[in-house]
Structure 1
Amino acid sequence: MKLSGNTIFITGGGSGIGRGLAEALHKLGNQVIISGRRKGHLGEVTKANPGMQSVELNVEDPASIAAVATKLIAEHPKLNVLINNAGIMQIDDAASTIDEGLLVSTITTNLMGPIRMTSALIEHLKKQDAATVINVSSVLGFVPLAMTAVYSSTKAAIHSYTQSLRYKLKDSSVKVLELAPPWVQTDLLNSNDEPRAMPLAQFIDETIKVLGTDTEEVLVEGAKTLRNNPGPGEAALVIQFNDTMEQPPH
């Protein structure tokens, strides 16, 4: 992917990986528009990065997605990169009753949100000389974390959807990438100070380097073992991984 001269829209850009990507891409000479539900977070990011813009968006709400897409196309006709990053992660228990609110909000945000956002912008993106859709999945889409079964399932579904989208757009000007992060120090599961997670700054630096290549899957080194697990015998690593994650950090 070309790393400069783009007009980029990032969902969930007010914190964590979304903010990290937004700031890195802003510094590289792109027009970046971030979105999220929390107006205060958006204002904090844009104030710290003069020239960056923001728009409030609730990715659980189809009407909000439609309104923001219309606004983006009108105000940023050169928009050529969509990064579907917004997501929520909550602990559940697949061996017990799963809270209906958790189930619906997670699937609506993590899976239906990116599909709806892409659908709302895809005809515009296809008109650009070169465009990119980046879907942020997770290594947990390949090796699920049992304590976040619903979240992990949505990320597996995003991987599947991304492959279909890529195939359908293969003869267009739109490239489709998947960014599958490992465990990163962010607000998700209160992991900001988690020693087993990858520091956010390091993750962003490595990700930008990989993003600048021709790869369709954007993977930092720390993500590759889990990404490459699916296949015959995959259960062994799933069990080992979950046994490890149930232990407290040393």
Structure 2
Amino acid sequence: MRRLLPFPGLILLFCLLLLLSQLVQAQGNRPPGYSGNLEEQTAQMQAKVRYGSFIDSLEVSTERRAEIDSAIIAVFIERARASRDRSSGRASSVDLEEITSATYLREQLAAIMNAEEVASFDHYEATFQQRQLRNNFTLQLSRVAGGLTEANREIVLEVLMHHMGADQEQVQTSNRDAVDESQRQLQALMNARMEIAGQLDDAQLQEAEKFLGQILSGLLTAQSMNETEQ
């Protein structure tokens, strides 16, 4: 049975793909006569999407940032080549899984980073899903529920993250059935809605419902897709 991502995972994947497509378009606007290795360019774009904010957050010299950035890009290039070799039968799925694992990337970085830098990387990885989900909720709240006051928008965001952002890392790596996970998220959304209703007046709650309804629609769609795949 093919495992589908739960709804927040679908949101994060969509956001990453959207950013990647924008970077691809930017790459397509190179001046005439520009040439480069497409595989390396793609690896650079993927690395920037996933780890650009980590590189920017490092309190080190520009040269040091470039060194760490190059190490990350090198791993992404390895991943691309391993995937190509796997498709052509020159490498096994075990080889591909090893190179594409988070552990492999960390090992490569640990070889060139000091303890403080490694700790920063570990923290970035541990909180990545939470940050992406929060950023997406913030963006969608502004777009869909523009009538919310700034204070109430923050209330909605905090409540949603408390209920739906909890244990996202465990959700993504667990073996729980996707349908059960969709049901868990539906219950989490209902709990969040009840808490939000207790803190907003009727007019502001009606505005928040625009966004909550959008999440509900997405969850029901994801659940239906998961049930179809069973």
Q: Which has the higher strand share?
A: 1
Category of TM-score, reference length = shorter chain: under 0.3
- What TM-score does the superposition give when structure 1 sets the normalisation length? 0.24
- Larger gyration radius, structure 1 or structure 2: 2
Q: Which has the higher helix share?
A: 2
- What TM-score does the superposition give when structure 2 sets the normalisation length? 0.25
